[in-house]
Amino acid sequence: QKEVEQDPGPLSVPEGAIVSLNCTYSNSAFQYFMWYRQYSRKGPELLMYTYSSGNKEDGRFTAQVDKSSKYISLFIRDSQPSDSATYLCAMIANEGGSNYKLTFGKGTLLTVNP
Amino acid sequence: DGGITQSPKYLFRKEGQNVTLSCEQNLNHDAMYWYRQDPGQGLRLIYYSQIVNDFQKGDIAEGYSVSREKKESFPLTVTSAQKNPTAFYLCASSIYGETDTQYFGPGTRLTVL
């Protein structure tokens, strides 16, 4: 079983839809959780960062973490065509041997249609 | 303008040749990283360096080499020993100890002909 599982999609939604992107993980040592957005042929950019269970909001984006279920989500409200990108979840352990390394999901390709 | 630059954007190489990818940052970050991204594979760590003159292998270091002679620079050499080098290569940097907040460059797409 891979440490981080993410459905690669592709996911296609109409403009204005609520989008839900998800990752599951198996390593209980993961303590910090990130979502990156990557436009085609560009480097990823950090979108959201959380470290505790619960929700974190930033504008139209909400990151949700459920450590008991080892499940994280990113919700996008009122989705726009400019949100079309690949979304990568990433996480990091908080233990001496592993805290140098981000572990990434494979990414979900999202298309928002006008 | 602070950031990370990678050059070239596109690179073509013949089989059997070594090639070096450039990564420069002016963010004053101590730590730098190299990742490889393949379709459907996500990002995989090749090498990382937390301070000048020190670097460590990541998960897929075979066929690659790096150097870290200056804080600002972390070049990656793809050697002829790398069996499947065609990929998108991403460089990132972070403040020392803040591995969870990495800033990425625009990437170099390497194609082996």
Cα(A109)–Cα(A15) distance, rounded to whole angstroms? 15
Q: Does B25 touch chain A (CB under 8 A)?
A: no
CA A46 to mean position of chain CA atoms: 10
Which positions ≥6 away from B16 have C-beta within 8 Å?
B80
Q: Does B102 touch chain A (CB under 8 A)?
A: yes
Cα(A21)–Cα(A38) distance, rounded to whole angstroms? 14
- Integer-rounded Cα Rg, in Å, for chain B is 13
Tens-level pLDDT at each residue, chain B (113 residues): 569 999 999 999 998 899 999 999 999 999 999 999 998 788 999 999 999 999 999 999 999 999 999 999 999 999 988 889 999 999 999 987 777 789 999 999 999 98
- SS3 label, residue B42: strand
Which positions ≥6 away from B81 have C-beta within 8 Å?
B62, B63
pLDDT in tens, A81-106: 999 999 999 998 866 554 567 899 99
Reference B99, options A77, A56, A103; nearest CA is A103
Name the residue of chain A whose CA is nearest to B39's CA: A106
Interchain contact, B106 vs A8, CB within 8 Å: no
